[in-house]
């Protein structure tokens, strides 16, 4: 009791000068707002079955808005041709590849894992193996599995059956997503560049393709030395839905079999073969389809908009065009967000004391303006510099500041000072002593 | 001085010419879905199928058909999608691309305005406006997807037996294929249904005996979009056929008969004589007789891989 009394006397002395009081309250107000944010996040994370909005919103980044609505339209990529394998069996894929090889592509990437031998169609396996052996600059996909926290690496590298994977090189096709399995809902914004598998690096599929096509561009990308990279999405391809469709040359099964394309489309280009639906007019198949920032519905769950092979094409285009995205380091982001909050607390506190009748109206208006301006800053930095600012916490604190500060000043501040906020038991004790 | 004038003149004219030469097309076809067509000026009546990668000049006209889709890349790098059926001049489309440019600030302002002025949706209250989905599926006619037959568009054969193989349709449920055989006047002479992705014809049959050319196509029964182009089998002329038979007899020697090795030898012979359909027939027979022999499959795979059709 004595100690609590001493604590209150100390705080009272600390608040003795008016100016000191103001800055002290501004600091405490800032802390209070971040504590409130933390509390709200904790509560809603435990009650998230009651919060479908929060659940949906946690899946977006502000830069999703930029990708889906607000950036300048990127040019189509002319290095890459995406070929749909649809539901063709191995013999069909072999026939597609045989036709493609006639037109002498520079690199061929196959976004298919051929697991095991097909006992019911050994001829199909034989033909596929033969065609793969004849393919120049071939890259096949692999998959890293079984993460080991101890070594911060993976224990297993899954490849196609050796009769196929012995040709060409492999690159992992894993995409960072919240899905626990291939069949679940999955969104994609980033990928691992070079995970370690049993002590060895396995570069990403797109990096391996780029390395064969343009070694300098691939090296410039790898030299960034980032373990993960945000995908700078250029656009979709025919057969995909969503924003910025049609940024890659794309050929369907019939186009290949009928050779309904000009020879120079494939000559010296990169050909990526993968699944893009049962045909280009198939808009309902969602196998290997992801939700990306290009989705027109940027918040909340929506129909997935991009096939995996097209995501790899986007990564590849990013590497070849040196169109990387840099992100604000976490430490700087934290400092900037704290300063943003502090600045607003100071401003709002000043308004609270100087213009109490105008407090609600003015602060709400300022909140809106600041939010729009910060969002604009994020967009412009992204558009001009491919730099992702992170003001999420700062914006959240601004949006909470007005109401949170009212709670702070009217309840917490008064409880800490001698303005009608004395704890009842201290008052009672004093009365008893006086008696 | 004289040289300077000449050099200046050459440079001046090359500056004029170079931009024109550098841009010899307005659009290039990025992606093409459907029976879209192209007409080039000067060829009034000839619409022809549009190819992906094709370059379009200002005067070219394109026809987007039915529910088709066309993606174009402008020479500036911008792209344009056409989803509505109709005829379009390349030059008119080019002007659309130039007009469409929006700065980021304009897009942001439009976005804010749209969000501010957006009316809140109330699906329950305004239910009559929200009836765009049904619980049924549509099965519309759509462009046929090709079934690829493993042979050139037209192939000369010695026969008498010919195996025609095609790439499977890749459907979840194993399909039934319908092979329609016609004479050179496009009259149907025979139809064959099969669940296998191949058939073997005997050209000695009465229905084929008098035909110099047999045209056929393959389609999946009940799924019109899975259909092949038309292919032609030309019977080899009598003299040539006799000569080939003689050479084959010499080549095969004592290895005649219905053994796997003899068919393999025949396959290699036909391959050498550039008779791909006869070669395929012989390889298929060899593998059918000895399915466990991996080398036969390897040789067949190499043969297929090396073909130019």
DSSP assignment string, A139-161: EEEEEEEEEETTTTEEEEEE-S-
Between the alpha carbon of residue A253 and those of residues A281, A312, A384, B33, B239, the distances in Å are: 12, 19, 39, 11, 40
Same domain, A9 and A124: no
- Report the chain B residue with the minimal C-alpha distance to residue A266: B53
Average pLDDT over every residue of B67-81: 85
Domain end call among A260, A285, A320: A320
Same domain, B58 and B194: no
> Which one, of A22, A4, A25, A16, lies nearest residue A418 by Cα?
A16
Cβ pair A92:B49 closer than 8 A: no
Hey, which residues does A172 pair with through a beta bridge?
A142, A204
The per-residue pLDDT for A139 is 97
Q: Kindly report the number of other CB atoms within 10 A of residue A265's CB atom.
A: 22
Tell me which H or E stretch contains A101: helix A90-102
Cβ pair A254:B78 closer than 8 A: no
A with B: how many residue pairs have Cβ under 8 Å apart?
158
Strand A107-110 and strand A138-148: pairing?
A: parallel
Same domain, A35 and A111: no
Same domain, B80 and B194: no
b/e sequence A304-336, b meaning 16+ C-beta within 10 Å: bbbbbbbbbbbbbbbbbbeebbebbeeeebeeb
Mutation target among B31, B140, B217, B298 for the A interface, most CBs of A within 10 A: B31
The per-residue pLDDT for A310 is 94
Residue A69 inside a domain? The answer is: no
CA B281 to chain centre: 24
Segment 394-433 of chain A within 8 Å of chain B by CB: none
A62 contact B CB<8A: no
CA B255 to chain centre: 40
Q: Is the pLDDT of residue A346 over 80?
A: yes
Same domain, B150 and B71: no
The per-residue pLDDT for A183 is 60
Highest mean pLDDT among A132-136, A174-178, A234-238: A132-136
Tell me how far apart the alpha carbons of residues B290 and A152 are, in angstroms, rounded to a whole number: 51
Tell me which H or E stretch contains A201: strand A200-201
Q: Is the pLDDT of residue A51 over 80?
A: no
pLDDT digits (tens, 9 = 90+) for A122-149: 888 999 999 999 999 999 999 998 888 8
A371 contact B CB<8A: no
Question: Can you give the C-alpha Rg of chain B in angstroms?
Answer: 29
Q: What are phi and psi of B223, to 5 degrees?
A: -135, 90
Cβ pair A126:B33 closer than 8 A: no
- Quick one: pLDDT band at residue A185, thresholds 50, 70, 90? low
The per-residue pLDDT for A112 is 95
Residue B56 inside a domain? The answer is: yes
Question: Can you give the C-alpha Rg of chain A in angstroms?
Answer: 29
Highest mean pLDDT among A40-49, B143-152, B220-229: B220-229
> Which one, of B44, B73, B78, lies nearest residue B59 by Cα?
B44
Looking at residue A50, the DSSP 8-state letter turns out to be G
Cβ pair B30:A250 closer than 8 A: yes
Same domain, A162 and A234: yes
Residue B212 inside a domain? The answer is: yes
Same domain, A289 and A370: no
Q: How many domains does chain A have?
A: 2
- The answer to whether A34 touches A343, Cβ cutoff 8 Å, is no
Tell me how far apart the alpha carbons of residues B296 and A393 are, in angstroms, rounded to a whole number: 67
Which residue is associated with the tokens 């041709």?
Answer: A81
Strand A169-172 and strand A270-274: pairing?
A: unpaired
Chain A residues with CB-CB distance to B35 below 8 A: none
Which of B52, B148, B307 is the closest to A257 by Cβ? B148
Tell me how far apart the alpha carbons of residues B34 and B65 are, in angstroms, rounded to a whole number: 7
Same domain, B164 and B302: yes
Highest mean pLDDT among A50-59, B48-57, B93-102: B48-57
Residue A240 inside a domain? The answer is: yes
Domain end call among A287, A320, A353: A320
Q: Is the pLDDT of residue B92 over 80?
A: yes
Looking at residue A265, the DSSP 8-state letter turns out to be G
The per-residue pLDDT for B205 is 92
Task: Pick the more confident residue, B119 or A308.
Answer: A308
Chain A residues with CB-CB distance to B300 below 8 A: 123, 126-127
Same domain, A214 and A95: yes
Residue A70 inside a domain? The answer is: no
- The answer to whether B167 touches B148, Cβ cutoff 8 Å, is yes
- The answer to whether A290 touches A304, Cβ cutoff 8 Å, is yes
Which of B31, B143, B294 is the closest to A238 by Cβ? B31
Same domain, A209 and A284: yes
Domain end call among A298, A320, A342: A320
b/e sequence A6-18, b meaning 16+ C-beta within 10 Å: eebeeeeeebeee
Residue B35 inside a domain? The answer is: yes
Residue B140 inside a domain? The answer is: no
Q: B157 by DSSP, 3-state: which? A: strand
Instruction: Compute the 3-state secondary structure of chain B and give helix, strand, coil in percent, each to the nearest 5.
Output: 35, 25, 40
Which of B49, B167, B307 is the closest to A91 by Cβ? B167
Same domain, A332 and A312: no
The per-residue pLDDT for B17 is 47
Same domain, A153 and A243: yes
Cβ pair A255:B78 closer than 8 A: no
The per-residue pLDDT for A53 is 46
Question: How far B107 CA sits from the closest chain A CA (Å)?
Answer: 6
- Domain with B79 in it: 2-99
> Which one, of A378, A366, A303, lies nearest residue A62 by Cα?
A378
A100 contact B CB<8A: no
Quick one: CA dihedral B106, A300, A146, A309, positive or negative?
negative
Give the pair of three-digit tokens for residue A182: 């291939």
Domain end call among B74, B99, B124: B99
Same domain, A256 and A363: no
Which of A65, A246, A260 is the closest to B79 by Cβ? A246
Between the alpha carbon of residue A199 and those of residues A162, A380, B103, the distances in Å are: 21, 41, 48
Average pLDDT over every residue of A265-281: 92
Same domain, B94 and B231: no
Same domain, A179 and A47: no
The per-residue pLDDT for A35 is 85
Q: Concatenated DSSP letters for B181-238?
A: EE-TTS-EEEEEEESSSEEEEETTSHHHHT-SEEEEEEEETTEEEEE---EEEEEPPH
Q: What are phi and psi of B157, to 5 degrees?
A: -130, 150
Hey, which residues does B80 pair with through a beta bridge?
B72
Question: How far A207 CA sits from the closest chain B CA (Å)?
Answer: 24
Which residue is associated with the tokens 């050319």?
Answer: B213
Average pLDDT over every residue of A25-48: 75
Residue B293 inside a domain? The answer is: yes
Cβ pair A87:B304 closer than 8 A: no
The per-residue pLDDT for B170 is 80
Q: Is the peptide bond before B79 cis (omega within 30 degrees of 0)?
A: no
Same domain, B151 and B87: no
To the nearest 10°, report the CA torsion of B123, B125, B128, B131.
20
Tell me how far apart the alpha carbons of residues A306 and B205 are, in angstroms, rounded to a whole number: 52
The per-residue pLDDT for B21 is 42
- Domain with A167 in it: 78-320
Give the pair of three-digit tokens for residue A343: 């600045």
Give the pair of three-digit tokens for residue A265: 């489309």
Cβ pair A98:B31 closer than 8 A: no
Q: Kindly report the number of other CB atoms within 10 A of residue A262's CB atom.
A: 16
Same domain, B82 and B162: no
Task: Pick the more confident residue, B130 or B297.
Answer: B297
Cβ pair B79:A258 closer than 8 A: no
- The answer to whether B146 touches B228, Cβ cutoff 8 Å, is yes
Residue B108 inside a domain? The answer is: no
Q: Is the peptide bond before B218 cis (omega within 30 degrees of 0)?
A: no
Domain end call among B99, B120, B154: B99
Give the pair of three-digit tokens for residue B184: 């050179």
Residue B125 inside a domain? The answer is: no
Question: How far A10 CA sits from the closest chain B CA (Å)?
Answer: 50
Highest mean pLDDT among A58-67, A196-205, A340-349: A196-205
- Report the chain A residue with the minimal C-alpha distance to residue B295: A126
Residue A72 inside a domain? The answer is: no
Write a three-state SS string for A292-327.
CCCCCCCCCCCCCCEEHHHHHHHHHHHHHCCCCCEE
Report the percent of chain B where pLDDT is more than 70.
74
Same domain, A121 and A88: yes
The per-residue pLDDT for A253 is 92
pLDDT digits (tens, 9 = 90+) for B163-212: 999 998 888 788 999 999 999 888 999 999 999 999 999 999 999 988 88
b/e sequence A277-291, b meaning 16+ C-beta within 10 Å: bbbbbeeebbebbbb
Cβ pair B298:A95 closer than 8 A: no
- Report the chain B residue with the minimal C-alpha distance to residue A369: B112
The per-residue pLDDT for B133 is 57
CA A261 to chain centre: 36
Same domain, B231 and B300: yes
The per-residue pLDDT for A142 is 94
Chain B residues with CB-CB distance to A164 below 8 A: none
Highest mean pLDDT among A99-113, A164-178, A404-418, B264-278: A99-113
A76 contact B CB<8A: yes
Average pLDDT over every residue of B2-25: 55
Residue A371 inside a domain? The answer is: yes
- Report the chain B residue with the minimal C-alpha distance to residue A87: B170
Question: How far B174 CA sits from the closest chain A CA (Å)?
Answer: 12
Q: How many domains does chain B have?
A: 2
Instruction: Compute the 3-state secondary structure of chain A and give helix, strand, coil in percent, each to the nearest 5.
Output: 50, 15, 35
Residue B210 inside a domain? The answer is: yes
Residue A435 inside a domain? The answer is: no
The CATH number of whichever domain residue B165 belongs to comes to: 2.60.40.10
- Quick one: pLDDT band at residue B45, thresholds 50, 70, 90? low
Same domain, B183 and B285: yes
A40-54, A401-415, B27-41, B115-129: least confident range: A40-54
Which of A75, A86, A265 is the closest to B77 by Cβ? A75
Same domain, B82 and B170: no
A252-266, B5-19, B294-308: least confident range: B5-19
Same domain, B12 and B149: no
HSE (CB half, 13 Å, CA atoms) of A313?
Answer: 35
Same domain, A103 and A240: yes
Between the alpha carbon of residue B247 and those of residues A86, B236, B252, B282, the distances in Å are: 44, 15, 8, 16
Residue A432 inside a domain? The answer is: no
Average pLDDT over every residue of A315-343: 91
Give the pair of three-digit tokens for residue A6: 């001493």
Q: Is the pLDDT of residue B125 over 80?
A: no
Q: Is the pLDDT of residue A44 over 60?
A: no
Residue A71 inside a domain? The answer is: no
Same domain, B43 and B184: no
pLDDT digits (tens, 9 = 90+) for A361-394: 888 899 888 988 888 888 888 878 888 888 888 8
């Amino acid at each position: 009791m004595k100690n609590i009394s001493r604590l209150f006397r100390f705080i009272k002395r600390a608040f003795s000068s008016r100016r000191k009081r103001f800055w002290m309250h501004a600091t405490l107000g800032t802390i209070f707002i971040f504590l409130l944010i933390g509390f709200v996040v904790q509560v809603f994370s435990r009650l998230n079955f009651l919060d479908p909005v929060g659940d949906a919103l946690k899946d977006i980044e502000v830069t999703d808005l930029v990708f889906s609505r607000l950036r300048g339209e990127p040019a189509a990529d002319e290095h890459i041709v995406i070929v749909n394998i649809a539901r063709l069996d191995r013999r069909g894929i072999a026939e597609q590849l045989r036709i493609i090889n006639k037109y002498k592509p520079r690199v061929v990437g196959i976004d298919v894992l051929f697991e095991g031998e097909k006992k019911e169609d050994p001829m199909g396996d034989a033909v596929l193996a033969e065609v793969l052996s004849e393919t120049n600059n071939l890259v096949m996909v692999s998959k890293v599995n079984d993460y080991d926290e101890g070594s911060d690496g993976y224990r297993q590298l899954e490849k196609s059956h050796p009769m196929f994977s012995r040709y060409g090189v492999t690159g992992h096709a894993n995409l960072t997503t919240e899905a626990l399995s291939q069949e679940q809902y999955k969104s994609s914004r980033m990928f691992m560049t070079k995970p370690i598998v049993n002590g060895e690096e396995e570069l990403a599929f797109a990096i391996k393709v780029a390395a064969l096509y343009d070694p300098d561009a691939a090296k410039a990308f790898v030299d960034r030395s980032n373990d993960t990279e945000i995908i700078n999405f250029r656009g979709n391809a025919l057969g995909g839905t969503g924003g910025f469709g049609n940024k890659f040359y794309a050929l369907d099964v019939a186009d290949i079999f009928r050779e309904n394309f000009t020879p120079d489309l494939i000559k010296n280009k990169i050909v990526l073969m993968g699944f893009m639906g049962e045909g280009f007019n198939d808009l309902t198949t969602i196998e290997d389809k992801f939700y990306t920032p290009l989705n027109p519905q940027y918040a909340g769950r929506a129909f997935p908009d991009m096939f995996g092979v097209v995501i790899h094409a986007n990564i590849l285009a990013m590497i070849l065009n040196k169109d990387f995205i840099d992100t604000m380091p976490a430490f700087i982001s934290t400092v900037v967000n704290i300063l943003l909050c502090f600045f607003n607390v100071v401003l709002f506190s000043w308004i609270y004391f100087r213009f109490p009748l105008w407090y609600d109206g003015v602060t709400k208006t300022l909140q809106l303006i600041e939010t729009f301006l910060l969002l604009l800053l994020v967009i412009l930095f992204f558009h001009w510099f491919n730099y992702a600012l992170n003001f999420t916490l700062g914006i959240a604190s601004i949006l909470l500041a007005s109401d949170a500060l009212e709670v702070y000043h009217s309840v917490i501040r008064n409880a800490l000072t001698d303005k009608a906020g004395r704890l009842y038991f201290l008052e009672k004790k004093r009365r008893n002593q006086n008696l | 001085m004289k040289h300077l004038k000449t050099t200046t003149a050459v440079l001046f004219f090359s500056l004029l010419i170079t931009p024109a030469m550098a841009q010899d097309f307005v659009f290039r076809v990025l992606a093409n879905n459907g029976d879209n067509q192209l007409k080039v000026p000067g060829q009034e009546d000839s619409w022809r199928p549009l190819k992906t990668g094709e370059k379009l000049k200002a005067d070219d006209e394109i026809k987007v058909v039915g529910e088709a889709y066309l993606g174009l890349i402008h020479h500036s790098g911008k792209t344009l999608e056409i989803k509505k059926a109709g005829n379009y001049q390349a030059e008119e489309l080019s002007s659309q691309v130039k007009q469409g440019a929006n700065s980021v600030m304009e897009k942001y302002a439009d976005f804010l305005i749209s969000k501010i002025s957006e009316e809140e949706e109330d699906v329950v209250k305004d239910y009559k406006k929200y009836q765009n989905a049904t619980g049924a599926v549509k099965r519309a006619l759509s462009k046929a997807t090709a079934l690829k037959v493993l042979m050139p568009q037209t192939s000369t054969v010695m026969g008498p037996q010919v195996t025609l193989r095609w790439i499977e349709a890749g459907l979840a449920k194993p399909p039934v294929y319908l092979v329609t055989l016609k004479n050179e006047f496009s009259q149907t002479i025979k139809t064959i249904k099969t669940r296998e992705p191949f058939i073997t014809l005997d050209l000695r049959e009465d229905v084929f005996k008098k035909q110099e050319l047999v045209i056929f196509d393959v389609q999946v029964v009940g799924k019109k979009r899975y259909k092949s182009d038309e292919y032609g089998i030309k019977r080899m002329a009598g003299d040539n056929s006799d000569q080939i038979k003689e050479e084959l007899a010499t080549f095969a020697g004592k290895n005649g008969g219905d053994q796997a090795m003899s068919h393999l030898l025949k396959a290699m012979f036909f391959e050498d004589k550039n008779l791909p359909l006869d070669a395929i027939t012989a390889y298929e027979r060899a593998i059918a007789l000895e399915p466990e022999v991996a080398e036969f499959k390897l040789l067949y795979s190499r043969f297929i891989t090396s073909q130019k059709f």
